[in-house]
Structure 1
Amino acid sequence: MQTVDTKPQLNSTALWLMAILSGLVVANNYYNQPLLGLIANDFQVEEGTVSKISVLTQLGYACGLLFVVPLGDKVLRKRLILIDLLFVVGALLLMAFAQQLWLLYVASFFIGFTSIIPQIFVPMAAALSTADRKSSNIGLVMSGLLLGILLSRFLSGIIGEFWGWRSMFELAAGLMVMTWLLVWFYLPELKPNFMGSYVSLMKSVWHFAKTEPKLQLASFRGAMGFGAMSAVFTTLVFHLEGAPFYAGASVVGSFGLIGAVGALAAAFVGRLQQRFSVYQLIFGGILILLVSWGFIYFGQHSYAGLIIGIILIDLGLQSSHIMNQTDYFSIPTDATSRLNTVYMVSYFLGGSLGTYLAAVAWQYAGWEGVCLVGTTFSTLAFAAHILFGKNRVSSPGTA
């Protein structure tokens, strides 16, 4: 394997474009969550049946991360993004016009599989940043991504309640056409850093997964944390539909807007590195994540308790997520897309597992079961960090 050292200057225009477009694209994966109740009513099926839509979207995202994102090290990234966006539009239109449940499942998987562009932008920002700007630049791109996740729920809840759930996916397809144009006209072309076959590229992904302890621990923490948050957001719509709330999709979606408070605060966590170590910042983030479940459980019958819990769960998860990425991007290698692949595949597999287990828990044990799932995931992340966080040392990387 050979590498070609090409590092264009990361200017503010490119950085902000990546942040904004990350939010627009990643939102595709989360529009469905506040709409599950509406979809269930439309197709006359049970809540657990439509929960598979969220699971398949996350599994699709994990597969896209595994098989597409590594190509960011091998091919021209702008070309890769433009081609991928065409498939995103197709998947969204299939979702909007599907008349059978199995087609919704297929569309959901491919929406996830194709909406992986933000995970090309994040390692791009890391690779092109100086050491002193890496955390803040990652934080900015992540801010756009996180706002896309959280505001997508708010937007889809409003649009779904007033214009129907299909309208949201039609709008999303239009937004992706606009994104394609912005990428075409304004994103600079970045050359690959990997010279080799696709097979050797994928082998190197597996090599990093097997040999980098710092990456392994970050991947586990991220998977457990995202599994915890997925548990609450997937089932929140069902919880709020019942007593004492009897809320519609727009109210459920507004919790995404509430969570944006925590996510925005998390975007500044990189600035705390001057006073605290990465270990301490991740410790604090996971601890907040764990504490959030106390509010979500004990405040389950009040908006105040749920609002505080949602703010804390977003703050805790996103703080630890940003610092996880800062941690493994410090591994001495140019293979940033492949490092990000290992982490984000694990992250969304954890999210898929959290979504699935929460749906099962909701069916058999209600909100208490969901809280048990989320607390367990958070505890596992905390325990792993305490036991192994100070002892992870990366080996010299190879691209």
Structure 2
Amino acid sequence: MAVYEMTAEKLNEMIVNKEEFFLFDVRNESDFNDWKIEGEKISYLNVPYFELIDGVEPVLDKIPTDKKVVVVCAKEGSSKMVAEMLSEHGRDVFYLKGGMKAWSEYLYPVIVYEDENMKVYQFIRVGKGCLSYMIVSGNEALIVDPSRFIDVYKDTAKKEGVTITHIVDSHLHADHISGGYELAKQTNAKYYLMKSEGAVFEFEPLENHDRIEFEKVSLEVLAIKTPGHTPGSVSFFVNNKLLFSGDTIFVSGLGRPDLGGKAREWAKDLYDTVYNKVAKIADDVIVLPAHYANFDEEVNERGYIGNLLGNIRAMNEVMQGKNEEEFVEYVAQSASTETPPNFEDIIAINRGVKEATPEQKQELEIGPNRCAVHHTH
């Protein structure tokens, strides 16, 4: 029997297509419980590889013979070893190429919206729960919340035959490293960020712009007015049709305002955002957030993560009928969960006050997204 390599792309395809398969994760139990590959049709077994060094016989009866089996570890080596041991027992087995590190870095594009004025791509970083966007109009493109894997945006722009002219970050990200500054350097695009976020490199302060216009797109900056979980969090309202909500509104909840240690104070700003600013936006506007918590629950039938504002309001009791005191109490309670790992280092890199090698960036980003916590199930 044989051992086969499986790429993150192929694994993601199986999850999106709701294919049944068996995932044998050979990382430590704590790592598995903290962060794993998720999908509606996946069955799991987690046994640390060091328990299998003398052989896989103890787990053979737990591994099905009628399903595709994928072995996963942190970087690939251990899963390949375990897969080879299983194949010696007559099993066809796959191992994930590059391990969870590769899974953390994989992102793929989905077209979320198209009309005569613009075409919008969402880039889903599935192992991390991060979302970024490209708005194409005429010969230009604007990027929203780019990840550090900037080639994917350059490749998509090339395929569309457009030039990237504007790049915006909705806030200073705490769980992943932004590609905004690097992408701007490589494309000569204008890079916009809130001055209040404290970045030390050269950028265009969003405070100076009520809107950004190019080709047939008018992007309204709901700036300083929409804190999510940082004080300079903003949302972008495009052509009165799409709300790029950053970490202010998610498909299944609201952003956590506690990462600066001012949960109650910032929750009041979030209340003002939800009940005064966003309340004026129509129900049929599509909300496109910067993160998601659960792919299976939040991906829609068209394959992207987003929903109509009216649907989000209806599902989200905290967005309706609460006074400021009730809202602040609810948010403060919800916000007491674990913070994103390494978030202080990541923010320092995104601010430009700290340098990091690609390897260090990879290490810092490993793990789940913990920016979306206010769920309403």
**Is the shorter-chain TM-score for this pair beyond 0.5, marking a shared fold?**
no
Higher helix residue share: 1
TM-score w.r.t. structure 2 length? 0.26
Structure of larger gyration radius: 2
Higher strand residue share: 2
Q: Which has the higher contact order (CA 8 A, sep 6+)?
A: 1
TM-score w.r.t. structure 1 length? 0.25
